[in-house]
A and B are shown apart, each in its own frame.
Chain A
Amino acid sequence: ELKVEQNPLFLSMQEGKNYTIYCNYSTTSDRLYWYRQDPGKSLESLFVLLSNGAVKQEGRLMASLDTKARLSTLHITAAVHDLSATYFCAPKTGGNKLVFGAGTILRVKS
């Protein structure tokens, strides 16, 4: 059974700083998703990572995937307040079954 460990679970950072969220998973997966969730809202898709060494960037966020280490990272560059949200990683198992991490609550302080 696929297990997902995300850390940190809570991240408070100053505007302008950089930080990385880590996502470890226990068994092979051929696809990994990152989602963002604002309070009281649904999940917004950020990235889909398909292969080993995949790197995707959108604005101040960059995600990478190392399938051999079963590790994905979400790097935040020069954080701004608008990035405050909860971030989830979710590797895929069979079909479209995603196994979500516990989520990282990000608070960016000005």
Chain B
Amino acid sequence: KAGVTQTPRYLIKTRGQQVTLSCSPISGHRSVSWYQQTPGQGLQFLFEYFSETQRNKGNFPGRFSGRQFSNSRSEMNVSTLELGDSALYLCASSRTGRSGANVLTFGAGSRLTVL
């Protein structure tokens, strides 16, 4: 069974540029969540999408956005990159999210470096 696939795995950008990260969830999973991991702030929730709708949003500026497609694949975009956006961006997928032992499975992450 294929896991959660994130692309690209590594990327380097310069300040002011924008970046798009992609996440393909496990087949049959309809919920996709995004998290940012940095040494200083730890793991922080960015947003969650379910059936193409944003269901939850974390406390990040509007430069961070996302979307989900009809096949449940998700993308997140960061515009006008800042040095502080350098981080590991993790995507997690799950089947639904409302009840039960709903395991969130994480992808390998996309490591973004902003110079």
A interface residues with partner B (beta carbon < 8 Å): 31, 33, 35, 41-45, 48, 50, 88, 90, 94-103
Contacts and interface: CB of A to CB of B under 8 A. Distances in A.
Contacts of B58: 97
Interface of B: 31, 33, 35, 42-45, 48, 50, 55-56, 58, 90, 92, 94, 97, 100-109
Contacts of B103: 33, 45, 48
A31 B55 CA distance: 18
Nearest to A50: B101
**Interface of chain B, main secondary structure:** strand
Tell which of A42, A44, A45 has the most Cβ of chain B within 10 Å: A42
A48 B101 contact: yes
Nearest to A101: B42
B43 to A, nearest CB: 4
Contacts of A98: 33, 35, 45, 104
B16 to A, nearest CB: 28
Contacts of A99: 45
A101 B97 CA distance: 20
B43 A88 contact: yes
10 contacts: A31-B101, A35-B106, A42-B90, A42-B106, A45-B105, A94-B56, A95-B31, A95-B56, A96-B92, A100-B35
A42 B97 contact: no
B43 A96 contact: no
B102 A31 contact: yes
- Give 10 closest A-B pairs by Cβ, nearest first: A100-B43, A96-B97, A43-B106, A95-B55, A95-B56, A48-B101, A97-B56, A42-B106, A42-B108, A97-B45
B33 A96 contact: yes
Contacts of A100: 35, 42-44
Given A42-B106, A42-B107, A100-B42, A95 B50 contact: yes
A43 B109 CA distance: 9
B42 A33 contact: no
Tell which of B42, B43, B108 has the most Cβ of chain A within 10 Å: B43
